[in-house]
Structure 1
C-alpha cells in the first residue's frame, strides 16, 4: 500500500489556493503493471506492539476491517473512537480516518472497489444506509464474531482460488458479510422502508454528483439537469430516501470538507473558504456558524484540542 498526497488547485480572484488536507491512499492493485482487473481485495495483518497510521482517505474504495483481537483508537474525521476486538471498522469511500492500534492486533482488511460496492449495496437499501457513515461495530456475542470470521476466511479462499464462478461466489459471500452487519447494527433514525428503488437510486446518484461538484456552487436545477429529472422529482427522492432536502445534503457535504480542512490542514479560514467556492470568507464564516453552531476558528481550536488532529 502506498500513500500519495493529492494536491488540488482552485483559483479565485487571481488567487491560487493549494488544498493539502489529508493523504489520498492508492492501493498497490492500482499499479500500471497490474494487468488483472479486481473488485475485492483481502489482506490479513498481524502486528506486535503498537502500530499507527496517520489520517488518510481512500478515494476509490470502501474498507471493512475485522479486528479479531487487539484494541486501539480510530481518529474518525477528527473525533477519537476507541475500539477493541472483536469488532468491525467500516470505512466508506473518502471518509478521513487514522488508526492507532495500542496493543498486538490481528485484523483482516477487506477493500472493495467503489463501483462494485455500489452494485452490492443496491441489493438492499439497508446496505446503502450501513455504508452511509463510518462505523465501529462491536459484536454482541463471541458466537457472532466467530461466524463473521468464518465468513471472512471463506471470502479469502474464494478470492485466492479463482475457480469457475468466483465472481458470483465472491458477491454472495460479500452480501452475507453485509447482511450479518446490518442485522447487528442500529442504523439510526433514517427509515426509507417506504422509498421506491428509483428514489433510493436517485438520492444515491445525487450524493455522487455532490461529491464531484460541491465546490462549484451549482444550483439545484443544475444537478437536476445532470440527472435528467425535474426539481420536484429530485426533492421528493431526497425527502423519501434520506429525510433531507437536496440543499441540506449539499450543505452537509461542504461542512464535512470544511471540518476536514480545519482539523487536518494548516490553511487559513480564508484559504479554506476560497477553496470551497466561497468568494467571501466572512460569508463562509456565517455559513459555518449557522450549520455547526460555532465559528470556524473556534471549531479548529476546540476540535484539535479534543482529538489531537493537528500535526
Structure 2
C-alpha cells in the first residue's frame, strides 16, 4: 500500500484545515461509520493523532502490515500520516479521539506525553489496557464524548482528561518496549527537535544534522507525511506558537515577536500575515470574539 496513492483527510472525508490549530475532536465509531456501511477506506490524516477504542463488536484494521482483527477493549493508536482503513461489524460501539500534537502540548504533562508519542514511529499500535486501566479509560472517553456532544467544546475541559487517557494507555510502554519505534526516519523526532529549538534554529540544515541525515532526505520524508518541506514545517511551528500566544495570552504583539526570535515586530507581522492571511491583531480579535 503506497501512501502517495491513499487519500489524506483532516477527519475522514473532510479536507477543511481551518481547525488544525489546537484541534480536538471525539465521536462514537457509529457516528461516522454507520452512514458509510461501517466501512472506512484506507486513508491517512496529515496532522492528526487518533486513538480508536472498540468497547463492543469488533473491527478489521487494514494497514501496511495487512489485515488484523481488533477485538473489544483494544485501543488502536494511529500517528499522523499512517495509513489505516476499517471494517466494523454492524452496531460496533466505541470512540475515536482525534487531536493535533500542539493541542496535547498545551500543558507540562502533555509535553511529556508528546515526547513519548514522538517515539512511536510510523505505524499503527495496538494497546490492550489492564482491567483497572480499561475501566478508567472508558470513563474518560465517555465523559469527553458527553461534554463534546453537548457542545461544551472548551479546550481546557478536555486537555487534562486527554492527558490522563494517554497516560493510562501508554503506562509502562517505554519500559516494556511494547511500542517499538519504526526504523529510520521519524517525523515526530523532527517535530520534537523543532519544538525545542524553533526560536533559535530555523534552517533545515540544523535539524538534518541533528538527525544524522541529508537535508534532501529530511525534505523527502516531510513531504511524504505532511505535504510540507522541512523549512515550511519549521515556519509552521513558529506561526503555531504565535497563534498560541495571541489566543491565550495578553502579551503585546511586539513582545510575542521578540519572544519568537524576531528583531523587527513589523517583519513578524508580515510573516504572520503571509502564512495566515490576516494580521496578528486580527487573529487575536477573532479568537477572543
TM-score by length of 1: 0.51
Cα distance change, pair 202–139 in 1 and its aligned pair in 2 (3 A): closer
Give 3-state SS (helix, strand or coil) of 1:146's partner. Answer: helix
Partner of 2:206: 229
Contact 2:60–2:67 (Cα < 8 Å) also in 1: yes
Partner of 1:93: 80
User: CA offsets, 1:41-82, max 9 Å, x none?
Assistant: 11113359x722211111222211111112232112252222
Provide the alpha-carbon RMSD of the alignment.
Answer: 4.5
TM-score by length of 2: 0.54
Contact 2:24–2:155 (Cα < 8 Å) also in 1: no
Contact 1:62–1:112 (Cα < 8 Å) also in 2: yes
Aligned pair 1:179/2:163, yes or no? no
Deviation at 1:31, TM superposition (A): 5.0
Partner of 2:70: 83
Which of 82, 89, 110 matches 2:97?
110
Number of aligned residues: 202
Cα distance change, pair 117–79 in 1 and its aligned pair in 2 (3 A): farther
Deviation at 1:93, TM superposition (A): 0.9
Partner of 1:137: 127
Give 3-state SS (helix, strand or coil) of 1:65's partner. Answer: strand
Structure 1: gaps spanning 5 or more residues: 1-18, 191-199, 209-223, 239-244, 258-311
Cα distance change, pair 68–170 in 1 and its aligned pair in 2 (3 A): same
Give 3-state SS (helix, strand or coil) of 2:82's partner. Answer: coil
Give 3-state SS (helix, strand or coil) of 2:118's partner. Answer: helix
Q: Which has the larger radius of gyration?
A: 1
Cα distance change, pair 77–188 in 1 and its aligned pair in 2 (3 A): same
The CA distance in 1 between the partners of 2:145 and 2:73, in whole Å, is 18
Cα distance change, pair 98–181 in 1 and its aligned pair in 2 (3 A): same
The CA distance in 1 between the partners of 2:192 and 2:128, in whole Å, is 30
Structure 2: gaps spanning 5 or more residues: 182-186, 196-200, 225-289
Aligned pair 1:151/2:151, yes or no? no
Deviation at 1:188, TM superposition (A): 4.2
Cα distance change, pair 203–85 in 1 and its aligned pair in 2 (3 A): same
125-134 vs 174-183, which moves further: 125-134
Aligned pair 1:65/2:55, yes or no? no
Which of 106, 111, 124 matches 1:122?
111
The CA distance in 2 between the partners of 1:230 and 1:139, in whole Å, is 36
